Amino acid sequence: MKIFLDAGHGGKDSGAVGFGLKEKDLTLTIVKKIGKLLADYEGVEVLYSRTDDRFLELSERAAFANKANADFCQSIHINATPSGTGFESFVHTSASAKSIAYQNEIHPEIMRAIGDVQDRGKKNANYAMVRQPNMPSILTESLFIDNPNDNKLLQQDSFLDKVAQGHVNGYVKAFGLKKKASVQPQTQPVVTTKNGWKKENDKWYFYQNGNKKTGWLMDKGSWYYLDGYGEMLTGWQFLKGKWYYLNPNGDMRIGWLRVNDKWYYLNEDGSMGTGEITVKGKKYILRANGSLIVTTPDGVVIE
């Protein structure tokens, strides 16, 4: 079973925005969570339109799915309009019987997973990502980024976990997916409680009394961030409406940072600075994306 996951927008196309959040970041986070969950199921191959912040034309995304001969295409989006709220799903106006059948299975499972959220219904539209793929396709819109109440939920990593789980629950029901059998050892090994940092499958986790820690972690004077699965994150991360930079070893960066020939400033709490700031008595101006504006003595911008 080949499942093609499309994270809406990306790169220069931020998608909808609201209260510090960008649709392109949320869709990518949800898609990655779905992919991780699907790794636990037999015979599932997960394909992605993007796994990082890059721009792709809609036609390119559909072409990827078609070239890979995917069995199902899922496009993930976040809605926008201040008066709107809730969840809705779409198939094409001339959708195949399979697309409609899958929507009927997947939509209610997502609603069950995300809880007390308005159900805006199962709909159809002439959207490119349900029109151009050759296989059954569904597009989901999970809440409204510019609605204050919806936005508060979208800022919670635990809520994005529910969105991802709801999608996977729907796939299990629609496609009859089966979890991989766990191999039981013939003899019971000596059980030791894990504590501290552990590297597993080239990823770092932090255990406390045998349980993986998630969220922000202070260890030996440095801050780290562990996602909903306990995995230590690195690089630029958008967390609860703010950008942070986590060094290659995982600890949170503070102060000046140079990335791709651009300077950025990370505040004392680790969040990326913007606008006019004062550092050691000197004033600097940072763009909305955090990069430093460099000027000549007469004020001409050169970087």
User: Mind telling me the catalytic residues?
Assistant: 141
CA distance 214 to 156: 13
78: which 2 tokens? 């976040």
Among 122, 126, 157, which residue's Cα sits nearest to residue 141?
122
Q: What is d(CA 271, CA 255) in angstroms, rounded to the nearest whole number? A: 10
Collapsing DSSP to helix, strand or coil, 130 comes out as helix
Residues whose CB is less than 8 angstroms from the CB of residue 211 and which lie 6 or more positions away in sequence, other chains included: none
Distance of alpha carbon 130 from alpha carbon 139, whole angstroms: 7
Contact at 8 Å (CB) between 118 and 86? yes
Tokens of 72: 């199902």
Checking phi first, is residue 143 left (phi over 0); if not, alpha (psi -120 to 50) or beta?
left
Q: Which residues of 139-159 are buried (b: 16+ CB within 10 A; e: fewer)?
A: bbbbbbbbbeebbebbbebeb
Pick from 208, 152, 171, 223: which is nearest to 4 by CA? Answer: 171
* DSSP sequence for 31-84: HHHHHHHHTTBTT-EEEES-SSS----HHHHHHHHHHTT-SEEEEEEEE--TT-
